């Protein structure tokens, strides 16, 4: 019975981790492809962070960051500081399905600032 439970938990973990990350979105598109209409080709700040979040986070945290397989992030800035959010993005969170390393270093900073403003 313990082996069956362990196998089921391992399978759930593998499925959960494979769902996180998302595919290639506008924020990951090659530089030679045009940006969305109305967007600057080299966006910065909140627009970049929102695109990165839409491409990498919504598969677990929901389309509006309302939660899903992962917790809601609509108020994460009231619970965690920018630096704490950046640490979770870089290292993941033990005891949860949140893996680290999904974002590049420059993306971590942008997304941490964006999410820290979600209150």
Cα distance from N-terminal residue to C-terminal residue, the chain: 44
Report how far apart, in Å, the C-alpha atoms of 46 and of each of 50, 53, 107 are: 6, 10, 11
Residue 95, Ramachandran bin (φ over 0: left; ψ between -120 and 50: alpha; else beta): left
Q: Which of 25-29, 43-47, 99-103 has the lowest mean pLDDT?
A: 25-29
- Tokens read off for 44: 């910065």
Express each pLDDT in 96-119 by its tens digit: 999 999 999 999 999 999 999 999
User: What would the DSSP string read from start to end of 94-116?
Assistant: TTSS-BS-SS-HHHHHHHHHHHH
CA distance 69 to 81: 22
Task: Give the pLDDT score at 101.
Answer: 94
Write down the pTM of the prediction.
Answer: 0.63
Task: Give the pLDDT score at 4.
Answer: 65
Domains for the chain: give ranges and CATH numbers: 2-22+42-116 (1.10.760.10)
Express each pLDDT in 63-78 by its tens digit: 999 999 999 999 999 9
């Amino acid at each position: 019975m313990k082996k069956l439970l362990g196998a089921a938990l391992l399978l759930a973990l593998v499925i959960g981790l494979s769902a996180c990350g998302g595919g290639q979105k506008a924020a990951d598109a090659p530089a030679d492809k045009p940006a969305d209409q109305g967007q600057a080709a080299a966006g910065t700040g909140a627009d970049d962070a929102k695109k990165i979040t839409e491409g990498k986070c919504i598969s677990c945290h929901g389309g509006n960051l309302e939660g899903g397989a992962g917790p809601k992030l609509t108020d994460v800035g009231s619970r965690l500081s920018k630096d704490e959010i950046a640490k979770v993005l870089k290292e993941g969170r033990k005891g949860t399905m949140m893996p680290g390393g999904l974002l590049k270093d420059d993306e971590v900073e942008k997304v941490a600032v964006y999410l820290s403003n979600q209150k």
